[in-house]
Amino acid sequence: MAGKEPEIITDKNQMRKWSRAMRSQGKTIGLVPTMGYLHEGHISLIKEAHKRTNLIVVSVYVNPGQFSPTEDLSTYPSDFHGDIQKLMAVPGGVDVVFHPHNLYDYAEGKPTGINNNGSNCENSGVGEPERKGVVSCVEERGLGHETWVRVERLEKGMCGKSRPVFFRGVATVVTKLFNIVEPDVAMFGKKDYQQWRIIQRMVRDLDFSIEVIGSDIVRDGDGLAMSSRNVHLSLEQREKALSINRSLSGAKSAAENGQVNCRELRNLVIQAVNSAGGRIDYAEIVDQETLEAVEEIQSPVVFCIAAWFGKVRLIDNLEINISK
What CATH number is associated with residue 278?
Answer: 3.30.1300.10
pLDDT of residue 2: 62
> Is residue 98, in this structure, part of any structural domain at all?
yes
What are the C-alpha distances in Å from 265 to residues 208, 279, 324?
38, 17, 17
Q: Rounded to the nearest 5 degrees, what angle is found at the Cα of 275, between the Cα atoms of 192 and 294? A: 45
**Annotated catalytic residue within 42, 99, 101, 232:** 42
Domain extent at residue 69: 7-215
pLDDT in tens, 182-194: 999 999 999 999 9
Domain-ending residue, one of 187, 215, 243? 215
Strands (E), the chain: 7-9, 29-34, 55-60, 96-98, 185-189, 211-215, 279-287, 301-309, 312-320
Q: How confident is the model at residue 72 (pLDDT cuts 50, 70, 90)?
A: low
Same domain, 193 and 300: no
Amino acid letter, residue 188: F
> Is residue 324, in this structure, part of any structural domain at all?
no
Average pLDDT over residues 138-143: 51
> Is residue 299, in this structure, part of any structural domain at all?
yes
pLDDT of residue 320: 98
Same domain, 122 and 170: yes
42 labelled catalytic:
yes
> Is residue 104, in this structure, part of any structural domain at all?
yes
Average pLDDT over residues 147-165: 95
Residue 54 has pLDDT above 90, yes or no: yes
Same domain, 282 and 303: yes
Q: How confident is the model at residue 73 (pLDDT cuts 50, 70, 90)?
A: confident
Q: Which of 136, 25, 43 is nearest to 89 (CA)?
A: 43
pLDDT of residue 123: 32
Strand-pair category, 96-98 with 7-9 = parallel
Same domain, 245 and 160: no
Sequence-ordered list of residues with C-beta below 8 angstroms from that of 10, at least 6 positions apart, any chain: 98, 99, 100, 101, 129, 130, 135
Alpha carbon distance 216, 322 (integer Å): 18
Domain count, the chain: 2
pLDDT of residue 68: 75
Q: Which of 2, 194, 8, 220 is nearest to 91 (CA)?
A: 2
